[in-house]
Amino acid sequence: MLKIRYPVVASDFDGTLLRSDDTISQYTQDVIKEFISLGGLFLVATGRMHCAIVNRLEDAGLGDLDTPVISYQGALVKTSISDKILFDNSLDLDVITDVISEARARDIYIHGYLDDILYVEKEMPWTRAYVDFLRIDFELVGDLLEFLTQKIKDGKHSCHKLLMMLEADQLESQMRHFLDKFGGGIDYNDPSHKFKSPPRAIFNTSSEHLLECVSLNAGKDKAIEQVIKSKGYTMKDVLAVGDSLNDFTMVRRAGMGVAVQNADPRVKTVAKHITTSNDNDGVARAIETLILNEA
């Protein structure tokens, strides 16, 4: 067992590790490497699809490490080089059916991720901006629900996330509606609140335009816990850094929950430490202050 205080660091990517100019500083890369050289385990935990984060690990100085990568908000944990699936927490077909049907009834644009490919019914202006940012492509399908149903029923395919694109001023009300109807996730304005419906899926957000749906068995905190358990660690051994509401649970449950300065105020309320912003090497500053300076 390591002697350093927090032998595991779990970091969100967008808005946390990644700067606004789409880069990661050499300083941050060097700090991460120093932490790893001490025997530390550095995990990236993101809402991105697996291929969209693996192609960015080189930017963090992690390109040569075959390390567990937590993607789709914890719905999939897969090694970065050997492509070994460690945990697969995909959505059940009945949940997929009901969520897509509800989104259609509310005139919400929705798409799905199947086997690390993004599928959409039609290309919208938001679609192109989204895939260009992630440096991925997408495939058009005639009817998303019919397509996913056929693929999943053969037992060979998994849907890890459904994603709805919304205007920023609609996000909070639509998220509340889906939480009320499907009962999964947290009322971030009142974490003690219990929803009326039995929980069927988790709903949260990573940006002002995206409402995401993943399995009840997913969640960044749960995925971190799965990865570190086999190594003899618990959540008390974790320093977790995030900025968005999909980081809320891992920041709250970690031994040292850290919010970057640019984080959603609700994430800051559950953090034990506030570091500098993503544009000012917040992850590296937290590692230096809370781990390396005490090693």
Residue 2 lies in a domain: no
Same domain, 77 and 176: no
Same domain, 238 and 287: yes
In whole angstroms, give the CA distance from residue 39 to residue 55: 24
Residue 3 lies in a domain: no
Question: Could you tell me the two tokens for 37?
Answer: 């050289």
Per-residue pLDDT of the chain (295 residues; tens, 9 = 90+): 457 999 999 999 999 999 999 999 999 999 999 999 999 999 999 999 999 999 899 888 889 989 999 999 999 999 999 999 999 999 999 999 999 999 999 999 999 999 999 999 888 777 888 888 888 888 899 899 999 999 999 888 999 999 999 999 999 899 989 988 997 667 777 777 777 778 899 998 888 889 999 999 999 999 999 999 999 999 999 999 999 999 999 999 999 999 999 999 999 999 999 999 999 999 999 999 999 998 6
Same domain, 69 and 167: no
In whole angstroms, give the CA distance from residue 56 to residue 135: 10
Same domain, 97 and 208: yes
Q: Which residue has the tokens 């941050």?
A: 28
Residue 1 lies in a domain: no
87-51-130-191 Cα dihedral, nearest 10 degrees: 20
Domain hosting 227: range is 8-88+219-294
What's the CATH code of the domain at 185? 3.30.1240.10
Residue 220 one-letter amino acid: K
Residue 50 lies in a domain: yes
Residue 108 lies in a domain: yes
Which 8-state DSSP code applies to residue 262? T
Of the residues 195, 214, 233, the one at which a domain ends = 214
The total number of structural domains in the chain stands at: 2
Of the residues 196, 214, 232, the one at which a domain ends = 214
Of the residues 164, 196, 214, the one at which a domain ends = 214
What's the CATH code of the domain at 224? 3.40.50.1000
